[in-house]
Amino acid sequence: MAAPTYPFMASIEELRTKLATLEASRATPADDTEVEAVRSALEREIERVFAGLTPWQRCQLARHPERPYTLDYIGGLMGEFTELHGDRLFGDDPAIVAGFALFDGEPVAVIGHQKGRTTAEKVRRNFGMPRPEGYRKALRVMKMAARFRRPVITFIDTPGAYPGLDAEERGQAEAIARNLEEMARLPVPIVVIVSGEGGSGGALALGVGDRIVMLEYAIYSVISPEGCAAILWKDQARAEEAAAALRLTAPDLLELGVVDEIVPEPPGGAQMNPPAVYASVATVLRRHLRELKRCKPEALTRRRYDKFRRMGRVVER
């Protein structure tokens, strides 16, 4: 059930717990009336809190411990998933999952960052921070998708690349760079879904696609607000200001021309009603795949190049 997370969510989570308790124990018509009263109080409270949502609060929602993760999306959207393991070079990275599944009955490659729920799983998946093996496994599966003419769907949800000794030793910069180059030339449709935290290079390594869609309360940034604050103000505690300065929310990214579309989340965020999120994502994904399937491979990669070529703002004088 709703565990206490962030102060700004406290009143919402309190009502949510109350509602769940009442729903579980209701017996009389009077109980039903009370359930309805609490339900509408919850709706009003969500509306009130979310009306003034700050960028920092959006970061917290993107990191919400109950937010659906890649494997949840795969389970909610697709059937017959087979996870594939290993980069065939060094090892298998549990911080990225990859494999094939059926979406609307059609085979697709699906790849995404994976965070853990329990402490043990969080550690095993390195909090969703990939090592080079993860990017290389992802690339192996993407190339397989190209060979068998299957579209690629990626989910982005990572604090960033793992700043560890081993990840550096095994060339994480090269692994990320290679994915950027190879994704640019992959001759099959790629749809990127920024579902949670889009943390820097570790996110972008799965982020080059024909369509980039972003969940309403997801974030995408060149650096974490904490990292930015530490560098600019020498003070991690100023992350809240950094979050606002970095313009990392979904509406910001749409305006900056980095994402194509925002997928709305249920009131209160994806964790409030995951099945509703899966339904919204499925609708969007279906539409994009249908459009992209009509493109010839050369047109696909040419447009993909043009898409990224336009990103950025410069003047000439």
Partner 1 sequence: MANAVSVPPGMWVKCESCKEILYYKEVQDNLEVCPRCSHHFRMSAESRLSLLFDGASYRLLFQKVRSTDPLKFVDTKPYTERLRAYTAKNGPGDALLVARGAIGGHQAVVAAMQYRFMGGSMGSAVGEKMARAIERCLVRKTPLISVACSGGARMQEGVLSLMQMAKISAGLARLRDRGIPFISVLTDPTTGGVTASFAMLGDVNIAEPNALIGFAGPRVIEQTIRQTLPEGFQRSEFLVEHGMLDLVVPRHELKPTLVRCLNYFH
List of residues contacting partner 1 (CB under 8 A): 161-165, 167-174, 176-178, 180-182, 184-185, 198, 200-201, 204, 207-208, 220-223, 227-228, 231-233, 245-248, 252-253, 256, 258, 304-305, 308-309, 311-317
CB of 106 to partner 1, least distance (A): 27
Indicate the DSSP class of residue 69.
-
Which CB, 252 or 265, lies closer to partner 1?
Answer: 252
Amino acid type, 113? H
φ, ψ of residue 151 to 5 degrees: the values are -65, 160
Which CB, 13 or 157, lies closer to partner 1?
Answer: 157
| Token reading at 85 | 């393991």
Which CB, 30 or 306, lies closer to partner 1?
Answer: 306
Gap between the Cα atoms of 31 and 213, Å rounded: 42
Greatest Cα pair distance in the chain: 75
CB 137 within 8 A of CB 95: no
Tell me the Ramachandran region of residue 152: left when phi exceeds 0, alpha when psi lies from -120 to 50, beta otherwise: beta
Which CB, 228 or 284, lies closer to partner 1?
Answer: 228
CB of 257 to partner 1, least distance (A): 9
Which CB, 57 or 249, lies closer to partner 1?
Answer: 249
CB of 219 to partner 1, least distance (A): 9
CB 244 within 8 A of CB 218: no
Concatenating the DSSP letter of every residue in 237-292 gives GGHHHHHHHTT-BHHHHHHTTS-SEEE---TT-GGG-HHHHHHHHHHHHHHHHHHH
CB of 317 to partner 1, least distance (A): 6
Which CB, 74 or 206, lies closer to partner 1?
Answer: 206
Which CB, 145 or 176, lies closer to partner 1?
Answer: 176
Gyration radius (Cα) of the chain, Å:
20
CB of 203 to partner 1, least distance (A): 8
CB of 304 to partner 1, least distance (A): 7
Sign of CA dihedral 62, 108, 127, 129: negative
CB of 241 to partner 1, least distance (A): 9
